[in-house]
């Protein structure tokens, strides 16, 4: 009882009372810079407390790889600066990755994975696997639970790039036999290569392939993942069709080298993803330029900027340009991706930056997906 009166007395001393409602009202002026909605309506403000002029809350970002954390923090400070009675601000950050799978959910093979990202290209040899491996490591370094799936049947190279010596182990989960993916550099990894005889070419027709991929996806025990990065084979064939039919894919990232002839194939890949309604969440230019280790000059071996121009033309978000360097290649050969070997290197920063942009695009896709109603199949 005394507490109640004390509170009452304190209220009277201060002319206006600072309440949670007033703080929330002020925070409504802060927008998520990517989703373009205010952070209060998006439900990102958590654990709000007001105590003797100290306002404390947690901003729950849509991804730990959020590229715009500092900006949101600044905007929050500005929004509350003019609020009467605020003497102290205590803003912390958390994250809850939102799923961005679209469409009806009944047929999904991977229910514990929030976002499935296909790394694809129209042609081979553009460095898709290297980009996929480093991107997965980058998402994981940002703090997101990330897995890597190698679906490149023609040349499964993820086991080499990630330095995996042993395949998956059989385990029993709720009475069903599952495959436990090997862990490399903190990431669970599955590869179609685990199921092939070494040095043998895969000469499979579609149905056989579909079955193998189905097993690779459905029999693996991934656990809860924020992101599953999938290294696709090049082109627009059976594997692409299987993925677009069996999974709820969040988005595809296209990898291209900058010269015209390579970009022509980007168009084909784009048109395929448009047909199966998988949103393209970004384009990455690989082998963009070469930094000479003698003179430190950047040499444009292909025509740097070509992919960025193409991205603008197709209205695809451009995620970044990765240089061609011996260190990326050496990291791959050694089974230790450059981001693990040398996280503070220039090239490491490039991958971290691309991962953050990609995570941002997926958050946008997730928000858009919630607006477009998902398909309901009913019977009456």
Contacts with another protein, residue ranges (CB under 8 A): 102-104, 106-107, 243-249, 274-279, 372-380
Question: From the CB of 278, what's the least distance to another protein, in Å?
Answer: 6
Task: Supply the minimum distance, in Å, between the C-beta of residue 149 and another protein.
Answer: 16
C-beta separation of 120 from 232 below 8 A = yes
Q: How many CB atoms lie within 10 A of CB 49?
A: 12
Q: How far is the CB of 101 from another protein (least distance, A)?
A: 8
Minimum Å distance from CB 371 to another protein?
Answer: 10
- If DSSP codes are grouped into helix, strand and coil, which group holds residue 298? strand
- Based on CB atoms, which residue is closest to another protein, 260 or 274? 274
Pick between residue 106 and residue 174 the one whose CB is nearest to another protein: 106
Q: Which residues of 209-241 are buried (b: 16+ CB within 10 A; e: fewer)?
A: bbebbeebbeebbbeebbbbbbbbbbbbebbbe
Q: Is 114 helix (H, G, I), strand (E, B) or coil?
A: strand
Q: Minimum distance from CB of 213 to another protein (Å)?
A: 13
CB of 36 to another protein, least distance (A): 18
Structure letter (DSSP) for residue 89: E
User: Which residue's CB is nearer to another protein, number 116 or number 144?
Assistant: 116
Q: For residue 75, what are its two tokens?
A: 């905007």
Torsion over CA: 158, 161, 162, 163 (sign):
positive
Backbone angles phi, psi at 352, to 5 degrees: -60, -40
**Of 104 and 177, CB closest to another protein:** 104
Nearer to another protein, 172 or 372 (CB): 372
CB-count exposure of residue 319 (10 Å: 0-12, 13-18, 19+): buried
Specify the 3-state DSSP secondary structure of 307: helix
Based on CB atoms, which residue is closest to another protein, 102 or 144? 102
Cβ 244 to another protein shortest distance, Å: 5
Residue 62 CB-density burial (10 A; 0-12 exposed, 13-18 middle, 19+ buried): buried
- CA distances from residue 346 to 214, 291, 333 in whole angstroms, order as listed: 38, 11, 19
Q: Find out whether 157 and 129 touch, Cβ atoms under 8 Å.
A: yes
Smallest distance, another protein to C-beta of residue 95, A: 26
Q: Which is nearer to another protein, 77 or 275 (CB)?
A: 275
Nearest CB to another protein, comparing residues 230 and 347 = 230
């Amino acid at each position: 009882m005394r507490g109640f009166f004390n509170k009452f007395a304190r209220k009277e001393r201060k002319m206006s009372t600072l309440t949670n409602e007033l703080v929330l009202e002020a925070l409504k002026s802060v927008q998520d810079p990517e989703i373009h909605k205010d952070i209060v309506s998006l439900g990102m403000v958590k654990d709000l407390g007001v105590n003797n002029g100290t306002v404390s809350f947690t901003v729950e970002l849509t991804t730990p790889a959020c590229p715009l954390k500092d900006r949101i923090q600044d905007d929050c400070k500005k929004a509350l600066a003019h609020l009467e009675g605020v003497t102290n601000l205590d803003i912390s950050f958390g994250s809850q990755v939102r799923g961005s799978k679209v469409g009806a959910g009944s047929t999904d093979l991977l229910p514990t994975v929030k976002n499935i990202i296909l790394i694809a290209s129209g042609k081979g040899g553009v460095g898709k696997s290297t980009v996929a491996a480093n991107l997965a490591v980058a998402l994981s370094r940002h703090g997101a639970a990330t897995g890597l799936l190698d679906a490149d049947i023609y040349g499964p190279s993820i086991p080499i790039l990630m330095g995996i010596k042993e395949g998956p182990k059989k385990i029993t989960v709720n009475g069903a036999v599952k495959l436990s993916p090997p862990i490399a550099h903190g990431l669970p990894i599955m590869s179609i290569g685990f199921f092939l005889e070494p040095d043998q070419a895969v000469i499979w027709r579609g149905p056989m392939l579909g079955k193998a991929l189905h097993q690779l996806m459905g029999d693996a025990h991934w656990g809860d993942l924020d992101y599953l990065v999938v290294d696709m084979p090049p082109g627009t064939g059976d594997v692409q069709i299987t993925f677009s039919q069996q999974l709820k894919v969040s988005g595809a990232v296209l990898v291209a080298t900058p010269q015209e002839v390579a970009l022509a194939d980007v168009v084909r890949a784009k048109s395929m993803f448009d047909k199966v309604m998988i949103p393209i969440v970004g384009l990455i230019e690989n082998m963009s330029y070469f930094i000479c280790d003698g003179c430190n000059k950047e040499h444009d071996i292909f025509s740097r900027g070509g992919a960025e121009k193409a991205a603008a033309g197709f209205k695809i978000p451009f995620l970044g340009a990765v240089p061609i360097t011996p260190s990326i290649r050496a990291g791959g050969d050694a089974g230790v991706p450059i981001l693990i070997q040398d996280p503070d290197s220039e090239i490491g920063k490039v991958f971290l930056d691309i991962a953050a942009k990609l995570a941002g695009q997926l958050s946008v896709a997730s928000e858009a997906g919630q607006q477009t109603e998902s398909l309901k199949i009913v019977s009456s």
